Amino acid sequence: MSSVTTVERWLTMVLSCGTAPLPYTPDGQAVGQILGKIDVMLAQLDPTSTHTVRLERIKRSMTELKSAKVGQAVAELPMKDGALDRVGWDAKPEADRRAVWEKVSAIHDELRSLNAASLVSGRRYFALFSILFLLVVSGYLCVHRQAGSSQVGAGLPSVKIVETLNQARLIELKLAALKDRQNRKLSGAPAASLEQELAVEWKAIQDQWVSAKHVLYGIALPYETMRLMGMFSAESEAKDSSLFVTYQAFLKHLHADLESLSTSYFWTSHPWRWLELSLWASMGCLVGLLFYIAGLLGQGVFRSEEGPMFWAELLMAPVVVPVIFFLFTLSGMAEFVPSQSSITMNIGVAFIFGFAIRRTIGILDTIKKRFFPDPTP
């Protein structure tokens, strides 16, 4: 062993043996957080607790800490506008802050002990939903194995996707050429030759669309995309200029459909697509419940009376979320259009709807009021 290593080890031993851990001095943020937890626990325990005497004693102790005693310029817990005055707290000596922190921590621990039965119930719910979440995720992964996915619907081959995009781009270029000819006509270019050029462009678009339809007919496209295909066919045959707008809408749907069909993992064909969204809504609901319960346990509170609501939300999520997708045009939301979005985007939105299931039910209530408005007094 080298002399340098020996010296280093000796110095480490000397420094560690004679050093005690520094006492914790809480800052204003930490004190504000624990005071918030105490207020929440007092609010929950006050109307229902059988520990009335202990609660009254705790309340008196908190009042004394927040009030300046005789001969004191500042209270042990300086308050301002109902919250801790962090400036006043940080101005107190460290020894005083540590002493007050010990008192507040003792009150916090005592309140948690008074609420122990509810917290045990909360931990059971958390453990139960954690196990259920793992089971749902495991089941989802099992049924989405490659073998199972191929039975429900294999992904669209890359050759087919490239061929479809190629046809779509060719039509887009021919439409741009037609638009250019029309603009030249409006600007006063010689009409004789221009009319002939326009006829040639229209014929090129119609021929290219015939070739594109042979490719598109081999793909299981949703109804909305097929509807736009029919509209574009009619407008191209009638030489209607509204086909420019129709084709852009068609492209948005087509790109989303091709992205969805390119994967063999997610279920993209109906009715399996709705089951896919239901499963993700259920997982989102479970994550939301775990997040909510963990927050309550962190605050030191839990109401066993909320248990039935938890189960109701979990049962409703896989049904309510697909219904929202069915009636999405009535929801009033314009930031997201399911038919113009890929399966991954739809899955993400379904997860968020499940995560915030109570607000999602609010969307359902908004749709209901479109059919059954609130009666006027």
pLDDT over 60 (residue 21)? no
pLDDT over 60 (residue 109)? yes
Of the chain, the end-to-end C-alpha distance in Å amounts to: 93
What is the tens place of the pLDDT at every residue in 155-204? 678 888 889 899 999 999 989 988 888 887 666 555 666 778 788 888 98
pLDDT class of 2 with cuts at 50, 70, 90:
very low
pLDDT class of 13 with cuts at 50, 70, 90:
low
pLDDT of 186: 65
Bond from prior residue into 26 cis (ω within 30 degrees of 0): no
Q: What's the count of helices (H) and strands (E) in the chain, helices before strands?
A: 15, 2
- β-partners of residue 309 are none
Burial (0-12, 13-18, 19+ Cβ within 10 Å), 205: buried
Measure the CA–CA gap between 79 and 63, rounded to whole angstroms. Answer: 11
pLDDT of 170: 92
pLDDT of 188: 59
pLDDT class of 12 with cuts at 50, 70, 90:
low
pLDDT of 38: 83
pLDDT class of 46 with cuts at 50, 70, 90:
low
pLDDT class of 62 with cuts at 50, 70, 90:
confident
Q: What beta strand segments (E) does the chain contain?
A: 79-80, 83-84
Contact 284, 352 (CB under 8 A): yes
Residue type at position 336: F
Q: Which of 7-16, 53-62, 184-193, 322-331 has the lowest mean pLDDT?
A: 7-16
Contact 75, 100 (CB under 8 A): no
Average pLDDT of 43-53?
Answer: 70
Residue type at position 257: D
Quote the pTM value.
0.69
Q: Name the more confident of 190 and 104.
A: 104
What is the tens place of the pLDDT at every residue in 63-100? 888 887 766 667 888 888 888 888 888 888 888 888 88
Q: Which of 17-21, 123-127, 129-133, 232-236 has the lowest mean pLDDT?
A: 17-21
Average pLDDT of 322-346?
Answer: 85
Q: Name the more confident of 375 and 228.
A: 228
CA neighbor of 324 nearest in space, from 361, 351, 293: 361
Measure the CA–CA gap between 93 and 174, rounded to whole angstroms. Answer: 79
Measure the CA–CA gap between 306 and 310, rounded to whole angstroms. Answer: 6
pLDDT class of 55 with cuts at 50, 70, 90:
confident
Instruction: Look over the chain and give the mean of its residue pLDDT values, rounded to a whole number.
Output: 82
Average pLDDT of 332-344?
Answer: 82
